[in-house]
Amino acid sequence: MPVYRIPVTITATVAGRCNNTWHLRTGSVPGDESASLAAGVAAIKQWYTDLKDEFPNGTTNFADVAINVEDASDRAIAWTGATNSNHTPVGTIAPHLAVCTSWLTSSRTRRGRGRTFFGPIAFDRAEADGTPVAALLTAVRAANDKLVAASLVDNGWAVCIWGLENPAPKG
């Protein structure tokens, strides 16, 4: 079951570049996982599309490659990011502030944990003290639930948490 690393770059005119790295397990026979990889990438892309209105104006997202974590081979992927232009006033809260989603595997081990940071956040999606408004949290939860539900279906792929099987030796 090949696992692919998919780096996604989020570019906001008011905050610069941010990155998220997703991992996707394909359950197909190695060498013939193109359809399940494409379906999984489409689900991750949909996560960003569902949340595009929470980003500042002019924010885009982009990914062009999926990298096999075992052999470092790569595959080009199809990704057309959505751009937001819904916010007035234009701007963002401090770029280093983000909403963090913690992902857990069913095994609940220390290695079975991961995080995705959602940001930069549009200026009107936070209270004066930087606290996210309820609508932002609701939108992130809904997008997360949709991605997890799609991932749980027996469809040849799943979003996963990946870590080295054997950690590097300590000196």
Output the 3-class SS for 7-69.
EEEEEECCCEEEEEEEEEEECCCCCCCHHHHHHHHHHHHHHHHHCHHHCCCCCEEECCEEEEC
Distance from the first to the final alpha carbon of the chain? 32
pLDDT for position 41: 92
Rounded-to-integer distance, Cα 116 and Cα 102, Å:
7
pLDDT for position 64: 92
pTM of the model: 0.85
pLDDT for position 141: 94
pLDDT for position 6: 93
pLDDT in tens, the chain (171 residues): 788 999 999 888 777 788 889 999 887 656 567 888 899 999 999 999 998 888 888 888 899 999 999 888 999 998 877 777 666 656 667 767 788 888 877 766 666 678 888 888 887 888 888 788 999 999 999 999 999 999 888 778 888 877 666 666 666
Evaluate whether 98 touches 121 at the Cβ level (below 8 Å): yes
pLDDT for position 140: 93
Strand partners, 100: 117
The radius of gyration computed from the CA coordinates of the chain, to the nearest angstrom, equals 17
Q: Which residue has the tokens 């000196």?
A: 171
Rounded-to-integer distance, Cα 103 and Cα 122, Å:
24
